[in-house]
Structure 1
Amino acid sequence: MSQLIALRLYFHHSATASPTRFWHRFKRPNLARHLLRQAKHAGIEQALLHQVHAGYLNGDRIHHRHVEHVHHRFPHCLEFIDVESKLRAFWLHHGHEHRHVHAVFLPCESANAAASR
């Protein structure tokens, strides 16, 4: 049986992905949207972009979500859940271009697996 694992990515709201199409050279795609699309294409079981209300990254000052304006250093948290081998392969393939993203792998225990014991 393969072990379920969660991959959490922490990055700033203004983070962008590398250009993959001609038009991306003029306006780079948002990193969260780009990674969600790539995860769907890679067949990752679950992907969630958590709504953050306040927080900070790398010892920066605390930023709070505001209705009218989101600070460019506001934190995002993107979480993927799947088997460990698939998530590690996904991160090896897509992680090298994102040096300001903090990746955390967390082991998971499925409620279904725990109930069957």
Structure 2
Amino acid sequence: MTDCPANAAPMEGALTETVMGMLRIYLRPRDKAPGRGGWFGGRRPLYRELILQAKEAGIVNAIAHHTQFGFSNHGRVEDMGGEVLNPNLTICVELVANRTVLEHFCRTHGTLLAGKVILFAPIELWR
């Protein structure tokens, strides 16, 4: 507790750490998962498909971060725009799990991930 600020309240309970991994996949909201067309194309957005597949794969956490301004994979700088969502503005799908689970996910879904910027970082899960 020597690293705590002088005015901090004492901590109760034990803190355990587990080394995990975080995967970030950068894509566009308009990217679609393969599938059957239907009304208006009928295919699910790729970021939603990746999150549903992550749930089936036992991933601990899977979320999509929308951005307001930026670029990915050497593309154009995009802006959120006015009243209409920009379908080319980067979105980030973040997955948290053990490294082996994340590696398996990438191998299994390689065709969905082709051409996407994918980053991995080791992280600590605290409980």
Encode CA deviations 1:53-109: one digit per residue, 9 max, x unaligned. 111112222212135222232101000001111111111101233323211111112
Query: Structure 2: which 5+ runs fail to align?
Result: 1-17
Task: Give distance in 1, aligned partners of 2:93 and 2:80.
Answer: 17
Q: TM-score, normalised by structure 1?
A: 0.80
Query: Take 1:99 and 1:64, find their aligned partners in 2: how far apart are those partners?
Result: 24
Paired amino acid for 2:104: A
Code of the aligned partner of 2:76? R
Percent identity between the two aligned chains? 28
> 1:110 matched to which residue of 2?
125
1:42 aligns with 2:57: yes
Two-structure CA RMSD over aligned residues (Å): 2.3
- Who wins on radius of gyration, i.e. which is larger? 2
Take 1:81 and 1:3, find their aligned partners in 2: how far apart are those partners? 11
**1:8 match:** 24
Matches of 2:95 and 2:123 in 1, distance apart?
11
**Structure with greater proportional helix content:** 1
Q: Which runs of 5+ in 1 are unaligned?
A: 113-117
Q: Mean alpha-carbon deviation: is it higher for 77-86 or for 56-65? A: 56-65
Number of residue pairs matched? 110
